[in-house]
A and B are shown apart, each in its own frame.
Chain A
Amino acid sequence: MTLHLEIISPEKVVFSENVDEVIVPTTTGQITVLPQHVALFTQITPGELIIKRAGKEDYFAVTGGFLEVAKNKTTILADFAVHSHEIDAVKAEEAKKRAEKLLAEKISQEDVAVARSELVKSLLELKVAKRRKHHLTTP
């Protein structure tokens, strides 16, 4: 028994496959969605999304969005989502520094919001990237 998971971001369809289990960070805490889950609708917070299928784990960084579970079909409408394989740690580190620098300088409110979301995104990418490395080195 598997459930169909679809992760869609405004940039692309990030993921669309059958999985055994998915762990999602939500506003009410981390939840695990298993097949035959009751119909559910909730909001996602920035964090790490874990997909389990055939004994393998996949990690994604998401920066918020919505989760809908209906009839064994799970849809995640993410503002931004990226697979840990696609995260470029060096780039994320650079983005983090840039965002921190921007935040340190006094700039307009709008820029602060943009810089802050950039920072959240890059921190998250780094976290997921590190976690994946850790996961690979400890079998």
Chain B
Amino acid sequence: MASIHILRRRILAAQNVSKTTRAMQMIAASKLKKAQAATLATRPYVEKLSTVTKRVATRAPQEFTHPYLTPKNANGKKLLVLFAPDKGLCGGLITNLLREFLRYTREEKGLRVVTVGKKVESFVITLRSEVIASFVFGTTTPSFNMVLPITKMINDEYLLGNVASVHILATHFTSIFSQKPIMTTLLPISLPLPQEEQEKSEGGQYLFEPNVTELLSPLLNHYLEMVVYQYLLESFVSEQAARMVAMQNATSNAKDVIEDLRLEYNKTRQARITNEILDISGADALRGVQNE
């Protein structure tokens, strides 16, 4: 049995841990509330924007081309943008992301990577993938301003023809208890062809005012920015949800540990008292024998 001092120290340590995890849980919960509202609010906009963009792009006249739709370069190189948290202690979130990343890199050679989030940066570097930029994710709900340097980076790489396609690896927020890493192709924008083609013949005329070229470029730019922003939000809300759940579990585990330790501590303490009483009464008995 461990000595009583050691037990007492362990109980204090476990109590401190549970205090910290509880505080982290509370912080994550409050951040989650805000981030979740923001994410769910933007979702319909981005979804609609995506369908509209794709529909409009398919209906654009044949002679219209945009680098976002048809890649300039066909060297097969890929750019991967990896969204991950800045900080750990969020359960399996980062591990899942990195597993997906590893699975992907095994198949791909000559991958260029842009990381957003400190936690994955060093890991990706040790894998000797080409990291061309790394951004800080931040610990507050991402603002739209964060998107611009990222899209600039993507545009620089893609429009100059350094890469043939751009992909995003981020976490998709399904619910507080479930977040999955997902991989999507950002550029070139994939257009749904077969059924849309039918609609085109049905719908007939499609007007662009003032003209396609002037309209589609801002639309495609806006689409790119909004999609990146949506992924940022999704990743952030996933991080907070994962952290909240992880810290909730940690807190309840710490409580269990404290309970066990306390039981042992009480037993040890009681055993020591009993022993002392035995000693005293034993000594008294002995003295009694001597006195007689």
Q: Which A residues are closer than 8 A to B by beta carbons?
A: 6, 8-13, 26-28, 38-43, 66, 68, 70-71, 75, 77
| B292 interfacial by beta-carbon distance below 8 Å | no
List chain B residues, Cβ under 8 A from A40. 206-209
Q: A13-B44, A40-B208, A70-B203 are in contact. List 6 more A-B contacts (CB 8 A).
A: A38-B205, A39-B203, A43-B218, A75-B52, A77-B45, A77-B49
Contact B226 A66 (CB under 8 A): no
Tell me how many residue pairs across A and B have CB atoms closer than 8 Å: 61
Known contacts A66-B219, A77-B48; is-contact A42 B209 (Cβ 8 Å): yes
Q: In the assembly, what is the distance between CA of A68 and CA of B215, in Å?
A: 12
Q: Is the interface of B mostly helix, strand, loop or mixed?
A: helix
| B2 interfacial by beta-carbon distance below 8 Å | no
Partner of A12, one of B41, B205, B209, B222: B41
Contact A41 B208 (CB under 8 A): yes
List chain A residues, Cβ under 8 A from B41. 10-12
Q: In the assembly, what is the distance between CA of A53 and CA of B55, in Å?
A: 28
Contact A10 B42 (CB under 8 A): yes
B287 smallest CB distance to A (angstroms): 86
Contact A41 B226 (CB under 8 A): no
Count B-side interface residues using an 8 Å CB cutoff: 24
Q: Which B residues are closer than 8 A to A by beta carbons?
A: 41-42, 44-46, 48-49, 52, 55-56, 59, 203-210, 215, 218-219, 222, 226
List chain A residues, Cβ under 8 A from B55. 68, 70
Name, among A26, A28, A41, A70, the residue most crowded by chain B CB atoms within 10 Å (CB to CB): A41
Contact A26 B48 (CB under 8 A): no
List chain B residues, Cβ under 8 A from A38. 205, 207
Contact A10 B226 (CB under 8 A): yes
B11 smallest CB distance to A (angstroms): 49
Known contacts A10-B42, A39-B203; is-contact A77 B52 (Cβ 8 Å): yes
List chain B residues, Cβ under 8 A from A8. 44-45, 48
Contact A41 B48 (CB under 8 A): no
Q: In the assembly, what is the distance between CA of A70 and CA of B59, in Å?
A: 12
List chain A residues, Cβ under 8 A from B218. 43
A72 smallest CB distance to B (angstroms): 11
B267 smallest CB distance to A (angstroms): 59
Partner of A41, one of B44, B49, B207, B222: B207
A116 smallest CB distance to B (angstroms): 16
Name, among B49, B59, B203, B209, the residue most crowded by chain A CB atoms within 10 Å (CB to CB): B209
List chain B residues, Cβ under 8 A from A75. 48, 52
Partner of B45, one of A9, A27, A39, A70: A9
Contact A39 B209 (CB under 8 A): no
Contact A6 B208 (CB under 8 A): no
Partner of A10, one of B45, B205, B207, B219: B45
Contact A41 B56 (CB under 8 A): yes
